[in-house]
Amino acid sequence: MLISENTVVTMHFTVSTTDGTQIDTSKESEPMVFLQGSQYLIKGLEDALEGRQQGDKFELEIAPELAYGERQDTLVQMVPKSMFDGMDLEVGMTFRATTDEGEQSVMIIDETDDEVVVDGNHPLSGVHLKFDVEILDVRAATEEEIAHGHPHGAGGCGHTH
């Protein structure tokens, strides 16, 4: 069976930067299982899987615009430290912030006596990614999986909708 929209794909992957720094892998644990077309994966990887089948192994490089986007300098802001009264702040700490556009994840990237520098960019924005993929299984999704937007295990999905 070929991978297409509404198929359940089981795969192993390793993702690295183009200089070889490994970011994540499933190869030492359980494979990833997802519903193709559910936008669970970054667009570049989901597009590259289309038409593949069980047993396929391939490598690909994905540009930022098809991954986590380009970095946007406007998403780096200095905010008054007083907004964090009572909190123990550390560089690298992430949290949800309320913005004019709604909730957004931000990371503290610097701190001064009076201000905190937060970055609303995804940590992998602007990064070219290299994937090493092995397709282990492809099957048709059930009607329930399609309705829920994700694959279910042998015992169902483990939650109510």
Residues 139 and 63 occupy one common structural domain: yes
In a domain, 155, yes or no: no
Q: What is the pLDDT of residue 83?
A: 87
Q: Is 1 within the bounds of a domain?
A: no
Same domain, 102 and 132: no
Tokens of 78: 């200095």
Domain that holds residue 37: 7-68+125-148
Which residues are 119's β-sheet partners? 76, 107
- What is the model's pLDDT at position 160? 55
- pLDDT for 159 equals 53
**Residue 158 domain flag:** no
Whether residues 46 and 26 share a domain: the answer is yes
Q: What is the CA radius of gyration of the chain?
A: 19
Cα(50)–Cα(36) distance, rounded to whole angstroms? Answer: 8
Q: Which residues contact 88 (CB under 8 A, 6 or more apart)?
A: none
Res 87: pLDDT: 87
CB hemisphere CA count around 138 (13 angstroms): 18
The total number of structural domains that make up the chain: 2
- What's the whole-model pTM score? 0.82
Q: How far apart are CA 15 and CA 25, in angstroms?
A: 6
Distance CA 149, CA 133 (A): 22
Domain co-membership, 134 together with 62? yes
Task: Please tell me the distance from the alpha carbon of residue 83 to that of residue 73, in angstroms, as a whole number.
Answer: 21
Digit-by-digit pLDDT tens for the chain (161 residues) are 999 999 999 999 999 999 999 999 999 999 999 999 999 999 999 999 999 999 999 999 999 999 999 999 999 999 999 888 888 889 999 988 877 777 888 999 999 989 999 999 999 999 999 999 999 999 999 999 999 998 987 555 555 55
